[in-house]
Structure formats: C-alpha cells, structure tokens
Amino acid sequence: MTPAAITRDGLWENNPALVQLLGLCPLLAVSNTLINGLVLGCLTIFVLVSANGTISLLQRWLDDATRLPAQILIIATFVTLADLLLQYGSFELHQRIGLFVALIVTNCVILGRAEAFARKQNLGLALLDGFSMGLGFLFAILALSGLREALGHGTLFAHAELIFGVNAASWEINLPNDGILLAILPPGAFLLFGLLIALKNWIDLKIEQRKAIRNTETAPG
Amino acid sequence: MMTTVAKMMVLAVVCGLLLSTGYLLSGDQITQNQQALELQQLTAVIGDPDIVLVPTQIATKSAAKTPGAAHYRLLRHGAIFGQLRSVSTPNGYNGKIRFWLATTLDGEIIGVRVIEHQETPGLGDKLDLDVSDWVLGFNGASLTTHTFDVKKFDGDFDQFSGATITPRAVIVAMAEELKQQQANGSNQ
C-alpha cells in the first residue's frame, strides 16, 4: 500500500469508527463533551502509533503462538502509560473519563491494526497507519462529541481549562439553544452516531454519482 | 531460537520495566495532583479561606482502605471550628450517593457537596453543583432551625421536579449524620 492510500484509508474510506464501527464503547461513552472527546481521541492516537510501531519492530521475533498474547501485552502497556500520562497532565480530567481510558485496551481498532497491518509492514508504514487510523477515530469522536455537546448542553469547548490551562476557561461558547437531554444520554449517542454514519455514506454516494456522471460524459459515443 | 515461553517472559519483563519507569517518573506528581484536587474541592465546600483542614486519624486509617471516606477537623485561627466528613447513602434512585458535609461545632451546616452519584441526568443529577445550586440551599441549616425533608413531605428543602427519591436520600442521610454528631457531642 502506498502512504497516500494508507492515509486515505484511515481518515475516510476505512475509517475505524464510521466504517469499521470499532471502538464504539469509548466512542459513545466519552463523546458527551468536545474536550472529553478530544482527549480520548489523542490518547487513542498515542496508543495506536506506539503499539503499531512496537509490533512492526518485533514482527520477526514473534511467532504464531506468541503473536496475539504479545500484541495484547504491548497494547495494555501503552494504554497504562497513556493512563498515567493523563493523570500526570490533568488529574481532574482523569476523574471524568479515566474509566474509558483503561477501556482503550479493548478498542478493537488497536488490536485490529496490529494484527491486520503492523505485523506485516515496515516501521514507517506501520506508524503512518497507526497515525491515520487514530486521526480517523479522533475526527469521528470530535464530530460526535461536538454535536452532542452543542445539542445536549448548548455549549462548545466547556471545561477547556482542564487541559489548556486557566486561560482556556473563557473558550466556552454558549449557544442560544437549551440542552436537549436525549443528546447526552446513551441512546442519543447511538442515534447521532447513526446519523453521522448516514451522512458519511450520503457523501460517498454523491461522490460516486459525480464520478459516474463524469465517466459517461467523457466516454466516447 | 528462543522458546515461546521464554519469549513471552522477556516481553512481560520489558513491559513491566517500561510501566515501572513510567510510574516512577509520574507517581509523585500524580499523588500531588490528586491531593491538590481533593483539597481544592474541599476548600470550595467550606468557602472560607481562613479555615484550615486537618486530616484526623480516622481519615488516614479509613482512607487507606476506601479512598475518599475521610474526616477532617476544621481549624480557624488555631481553634477547632467544625468538621468535614464524607457521608454516603445507598438510597439514591440509582444506588450510592456520596457527599461531603461540613458542619460547625454547633451542628450548623457550612457546606455540602455531592461527589459521587449515578442519578439520572436531567432528573436526579441536580445534586451536582455543575447542574444546579440545590446543594447550596443547605448552607446555614441545622437540626434546630430546619426540618430535614423535602417540601412535599413538610420539610424545608426543595425536591426536584420528577425526582423525590434522590434529594430525600441525601437529606435523610444528612439528618442522620447531624443527629449522630449531636449524640456524640460535637468534639469529634
């Protein structure tokens, strides 16, 4: 695969959340505010990149019997490091989403990329794949959490001070709408996520149609 | 060629070392963060910068077993002013509710802050200061001046529309605690 194809795959065509529907547990649970989503997305990128890199480096050394347990062990190690990192950086934020940071380890995107991609590729491609898949996940969780925060709380960037320091407290944007409770509750997460997937599919369809039209236009006769 | 077992062991040791290093580097800061956050929350409950919090022995002993189940003595200019302790009740609509209760020696409430609950968002979560300022309504109340129940049951405190169980659980647990403190004498 070319680097460009890997990037496109992770971000759009094979987006881990919107197409592969992996990692939904943290995605749906933490996407209640934009800041929570941002932090979880970034930690996921960290884990994906480090795990992919390590597993790519160890590919010769691991055999069929040790491969899966070794991958899980490596992923769990990086998730624990990410957890420590969050406690180190923002303990208060860890109090809010800490439970779901530990659950990154069960995010199938990570084992999926390790097993399907990183263990057969060179370091550079494995890192790139981890990064683009992570970025794809981050985009999806940002879209969902922005939508849920705007609809559910009527705010955006609330509690930004938890990661960006005291000055960021003023980033909070109050929208004119009142919060719709459903958007914050778990069913709302499922509904909005469904709508996001539908939107992505609709965009894909439009792109396809445009391509088809262009092909017929250029076709001879 | 290493055996499978040896490989897994090597990997486990390496991962273990990595985690230990990470923990050694961050552990102190994390403990500091945790204490700073807790102190910040507790100071907010009392709302008076002159008051100093001194953890009591009960706090250190029980805190080791169940984190958060703590007890502080409140000192103002060196004299005992009151106490702050965590109270929990299993009677919430969705189970356990835990809150900090700060009282003066005379049993007057200085501040209340709910720190742990699973009440329904939009109905029962008005316990949260982020959601509504219901908990501030207790400031200054005591057993002698207030009836500890929701208005629906002839008490002095607001219920939430659509949710009586949640506020009642907190109010009843609070009254219990106040009664107990009264019975124990207010020195502890």
Res B57: pLDDT = 61
Prediction pTM value: 0.77
In chain A, which among 111-150 make CB contacts under 8 A with chain B? none
Taking the CA atoms of residue A155, residue A158, residue A164 and residue A166 in that order, the dihedral angle to the nearest 10 degrees is 120
Distance from chain centroid for Cα A62: 28
For every residue of B27-90, DSSP letters joined together read: HHHHHHHHHHHHHHHHHHHH--TTEEEEE-HHHHHHHHHSTT--EEEEEETTEEEEEEEEEEEE
- DSSP H or E run through A25: helix A24-30
Q: End-to-end CA distance of chain B, in Å?
A: 67
Residue A96's pLDDT band (boundaries 50, 70, 90)? confident
**CA-to-CA distance for A202 and B10, rounded, in angstroms?**
49
Higher-scoring residue by pLDDT: A184, B16: B16
Taking residue A5's Cβ as centre, other Cβ atoms within 10 Å add up to 12
Question: A74, B29: Cβ pair inside 8 Å?
Answer: no
- The sign one gets for the Cα dihedral B117, B121, B127, B128 is positive
Query: What is the average pLDDT value for chain A, to the nearest integer?
Result: 89
Which residue on chain B is closest to A186 by alpha carbon?
B121
Residue B188 confidence (pLDDT):
46
Distance from CA of A29 to the nearest CA of B (A): 14
Q: pLDDT confidence of A189, banded at 50, 70, 90?
A: very high
Q: Tell me what pLDDT residue B64 has.
A: 47
How many Cβ atoms sit within 10 Å of the Cβ of residue B157? 20
Q: How far apart are CA A76 and CA A71, in angstroms?
A: 8
Average pLDDT over residues A129-143: 94
Cross-chain residue pair B15–A95, CB shorter than 8 Å: no
Mean pLDDT by 10 residues, chain B (188 residues): 83 94 92 83 80 70 51 83 88 88 90 85 80 87 89 86 87 91 68
Question: Residue B182 has what pLDDT?
Answer: 85
The sign one gets for the Cα dihedral B166, B169, B171, B174 is negative
Q: Are A40 and A30 in contact (CB under 8 A)?
A: yes
Confidence of residue A29 (pLDDT cuts 50, 70, 90): confident
Query: Is the pLDDT assigned to residue A120 strictly greater than 80?
Result: yes
- The SS3 assignment for A117 reads coil
CB contact, 8 Å: A77 with chain B? yes
Report pLDDT for B1.
58
A200 has pLDDT over 70: yes
d(CA B73, CA B83): 5
* Sign of the torsion angle spanned by Cα atoms A28, A29, A32, A33: negative
Percent of chain A residues topping a pLDDT of 90: 45
Which pLDDT score, from 0 to 100, does residue A149 have?
92
pLDDT score for A201: 94
**Measured distance CA(A9)–CA(B62) in Å, rounded:** 52
Are A156 and A150 in contact by the 8 Å Cβ rule? The answer is yes
Q: Measure the CA–CA gap between A41 and A140, rounded to whole angstroms.
A: 9
Interchain CB contact of A180 with B (< 8 Å): no
Q: What is the pLDDT of residues A201-220, one digit of tens each?
A: 999 999 999 999 888 877 66
pLDDT value at residue B63: 47
Mean pLDDT in residue range A91-99: 83
How far is Cα A109 from Cα A21, in angstroms, rounded to an integer? 9
From chain A, the residues in CB contact with B132 under 8 A are none
Q: How many CB atoms lie within 10 A of CB A207?
A: 10
The gap from C-alpha B66 to its chain's centroid, in whole angstroms, comes to 12
By C-alpha distance, which of A187, A183, A191, A195 is closest to A153? A183
For residue A76, pLDDT beyond 90: yes
